[in-house]
Amino acid sequence: MMKKILYLLLASLLLTLPALAQKNIEFYGGYRHISGDQGLDGFNVGGGLYPIPPFELYLTYDDTYDNSTIGTFALTSLGSTLVNSHMQEILTGPRYFLPGLLKSHGHQHLEGHLLIPYIEAGFGEARLHTDVRAVNIAAAQAADTAFAWQMGGGIDFRMYRHFTVRGDLGFLRTHFANGGQGRVRLGLTVVWSARPRATE
């Protein structure tokens, strides 16, 4: 289900690019950490387009994992317990860039500001799959797919004309197993922009 939604969103994005100015787009990828389930680490990829700067419409995909051992020393009859968690999420929404900070003064031939803060909101779907294995107990697994949303922000550090390093921090809300879970979502990505951004 997640793959079908991802392919549909990617196809929709590709079909709308010509109508929304092909050069005013960006793609990015990097590291992602999400709290909960012993902490999940993985990668993030995504893209966005700027129909009306400083607004961006973005699509992002996170793929995070955790492999934890409960009870490092098998001192009980239960022994060690292994918990493997895998969470995926697809989010889309608006991102608004605030006035920039720190003038470039010709750094790497850049115009405008080097630091550009932003705020964002995202809505989509998340899937969590967990396997639990113990030495003397049969393996068990569970999975759920549910609505997810996030709010947060970050800052872009423009390194070169087409490349930016982006740090982000936000609050992610998932709704697995008919409940609600609040998580911290942070990441560090490298952004490639087809059109160099010059912010005043």
Give the model's pLDDT for residue 162. 84
Give the model's pLDDT for residue 164. 92
Distances (CA, A) of 78 to 13, 20, 69, 136: 50, 59, 13, 6
Give the model's pLDDT for residue 161. 80
**In this structure, which long-range contacts are made by residues 6-12, counting pairs with CB atoms below 8 Å and at least 24 apart in sequence?**
6/61, 6/90, 9/59, 9/90, 9/92, 10/59
Nearest to 34, CA basis, from 198, 157, 174, 161: 174
Q: How many residues does the chain have?
A: 200
Supply the CATH number for residue 122's domain. Answer: 2.40.160.20
DSSP H stretches of helix in the chain: 2-16
- Please give the Cα distance from 174 to 36 (Å, whole number): 11
Distances (CA, A) of 165 to 28, 84, 89: 9, 31, 22
Does residue 24 lie within any of the structural domains? yes
Q: How confident is the model at residue 82 (pLDDT cuts 50, 70, 90)?
A: confident
Task: Kindly report, residue by residue over 93-121, the tens digit of the pLDDT.
Answer: 999 999 777 666 555 556 677 889 999 99
Structural domain count of the chain = 1
Give the model's pLDDT for residue 101. 74
- Please give the Cα distance from 191 to 195 (Å, whole number): 12
**Given CA atoms 4, 5, 9, 12 in this order, what sign does their dihedral have?**
positive
Q: 44: domain range?
A: 2-66+86-129+144-193
Task: Kindly report, residue by residue over 13-56, the tens digit of the pLDDT.
Answer: 555 555 544 568 899 999 999 998 788 999 999 999 888 878 99
Q: pTM above 0.85?
A: no
Does residue 76 lie within any of the structural domains? no
Does residue 12 lie within any of the structural domains? yes
Task: Kindly report, residue by residue over 140-195, the tens digit of the pLDDT.
Answer: 788 899 999 999 999 999 888 889 999 999 999 999 988 889 999 999 999 998 87
- Please give the Cα distance from 143 to 132 (Å, whole number): 12
Average pLDDT score over the chain = 82
Does residue 78 lie within any of the structural domains? no
Does residue 139 lie within any of the structural domains? no
In the predicted structure, residue 11 carries a pLDDT above the cut 60: yes
